[in-house]
């Protein structure tokens, strides 16, 4: 019996080592390689098939410099205003959201762009409760720390804007630009970027191409936040310095 438990212990140990190494290698890989598919895309496709609907899957990876600079500014303004200065977790924003929820008012989610990116790319979007919820949150936090450590803020934003759900069967900036506005992501206007950003909490109900009065009010709020924040650095500081030498 002692020999059995020893083998079991070694097996579990090596499984943990392999899992840990595999997750790190995957994060390193996606630091350089485009993320063409995500777990959410497969989940949404399965839901469409299961409901007898026509499959909608619009996605096209584009680099950050092929996206209008107002779009990362807009999503930062609406989703995560401290994105450039936090380490993946914005505790001040989390406390603010909890207070807003207690007062029956919610303008933003508590998750940072880094957390949403980690969840979109590395985890399946399933609902869980109890101990499973804590395990899932812990895994999300683990991947959030990894991408914050191994990726630049520009890379996190690039992956986020290419994988986030932006409509029914629409994923990423290029797809929503073409499907909703008939243009390339690079050509999105400031107003269009703000409208896309405010739709992100529920993009299948808040259609950025057919906004409601509520969405127009939120767009005005987003535009004010964008003006206050100023801009999003599309390139790392060292890249800018190298280019000027």
Number of other residues whose CB lies within 10 A of the CB of residue 46: 11
Of residues 191, 200, 199, 181, the one with CA closest to residue 227: 191
Q: Averaged over 118-129, what is the pLDDT?
A: 79
Residues 57 and 13 in one domain: no
Tokens coding 45: 């496709």
CB-based contact 62:175 (threshold 8 Å): no
CB-based contact 163:121 (threshold 8 Å): yes
> Range with the lowest mean pLDDT among 90-104, 167-181, 207-221?
90-104
Residue 61 binned pLDDT confidence (cut-offs 50, 70, 90): very high
pLDDT, position 11: 67
Please name every residue paired with 59 in a beta bridge, in sequence order, or none if there are none.
171
Question: How far, in Å, CA of 223 to CA of 228, rounded?
Answer: 9
As to burial, measured by CB atoms within 10 angstroms (0-12 exposed, 13-18 middle, 19+ buried), residue 21 is exposed
Q: Which of 17-31, 101-115, 181-195 has the highest mean pLDDT?
A: 181-195
Please check whether residue 242 lies inside any domain of the structure: no
List, for residues 33-44, the tens digit of each pLDDT value: 999 999 999 999
The three-class DSSP label of residue 100 is helix
Number of domains in the chain: 2
Of residues 25, 34, 20, the one with CA closest to residue 155: 34
Number of H helices, E strands in the chain: 11, 3
Tokens coding 214: 């509520």
Residues 77 and 17 in one domain: no
> Range with the lowest mean pLDDT among 102-111, 175-184, 234-243?
234-243
Question: How far, in Å, CA of 91 to CA of 128, rounded?
Answer: 23
Question: Is the model more confident about 244 or about 102?
Answer: 102
Question: Is the model more confident about 237 or about 201?
Answer: 201
Residue 17 binned pLDDT confidence (cut-offs 50, 70, 90): confident
69: left (phi over 0), alpha (psi -120 to 50) or beta: alpha
Residues 87 and 136 in one domain: yes
213 Cβ neighbours under 8 A, 6+ residues apart? none
Residues 179 and 116 in one domain: yes
Of residues 170, 207, 171, the one with CA closest to residue 192: 207
Please check whether residue 245 lies inside any domain of the structure: no
Structural domain containing residue 20: 1-30
Residues 57 and 155 in one domain: yes
Residues 50 and 14 in one domain: no
The single residue listed with the structure tokens 């991947």 is: 143
CB-based contact 110:80 (threshold 8 Å): no
Give 170's DSSP letter: E
Residues 196 and 129 in one domain: yes
Residues 20 and 130 in one domain: no
pLDDT at 132 over 80: no
Phi (first) and psi of residue 165, to 5 degrees: -70, 125
pLDDT, position 116: 95
Please check whether residue 12 lies inside any domain of the structure: yes
Residues 21 and 54 in one domain: no
The single residue listed with the structure tokens 């957390």 is: 115
CATH of the domain at 111: 1.10.3810.10
Residues 77 and 150 in one domain: yes
Of residues 145, 146, 172, the one with CA closest to residue 71: 172
Q: What pTM was estimated for this model as a whole?
A: 0.86
């Amino acid at each position: 019996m002692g020999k059995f438990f020893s083998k079991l212990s070694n097996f579990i140990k090596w499984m943990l080592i392999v899992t840990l190494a595999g997750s790190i290698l995957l994060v390193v890989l996606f630091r350089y390689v485009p993320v063409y598919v995500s777990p959410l895309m497969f989940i949404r496709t399965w839901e469409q098939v299961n409901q007898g609907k026509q499959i909608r899957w619009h996605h096209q990876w584009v680099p950050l410099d092929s996206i209008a600079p107002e779009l990362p500014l807009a999503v930062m303004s609406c989703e995560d205003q401290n994105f450039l200065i936090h380490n993946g977790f914005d505790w001040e924003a989390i406390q603010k959201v909890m207070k807003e929820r207690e007062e029956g008012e919610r303008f933003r989610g508590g998750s940072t762009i880094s957390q949403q990116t980690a969840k979109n790319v590395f985890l399946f979007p399933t609902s869980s409760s109890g101990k499973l919820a804590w395990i899932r949150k812990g895994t999300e936090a683990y991947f959030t720390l990894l991408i914050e450590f191994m990726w630049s803020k520009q890379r996190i934003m690039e992956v986020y804007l290419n994988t986030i759900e932006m409509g029914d069967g629409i994923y990423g900036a290029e797809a929503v630009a073409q499907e909703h506005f008939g243009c390339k992501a690079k050509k999105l206007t400031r107003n269009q970027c703000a409208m896309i950003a405010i739709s992100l909490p529920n993009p299948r109900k808040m259609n950025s191409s057919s906004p409601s009065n509520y969405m127009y009010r939120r767009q005005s709020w987003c535009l004010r936040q964008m003006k206050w924040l100023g801009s999003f650095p599309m390139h790392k500081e060292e890249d800018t310095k190298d280019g000027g030498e």
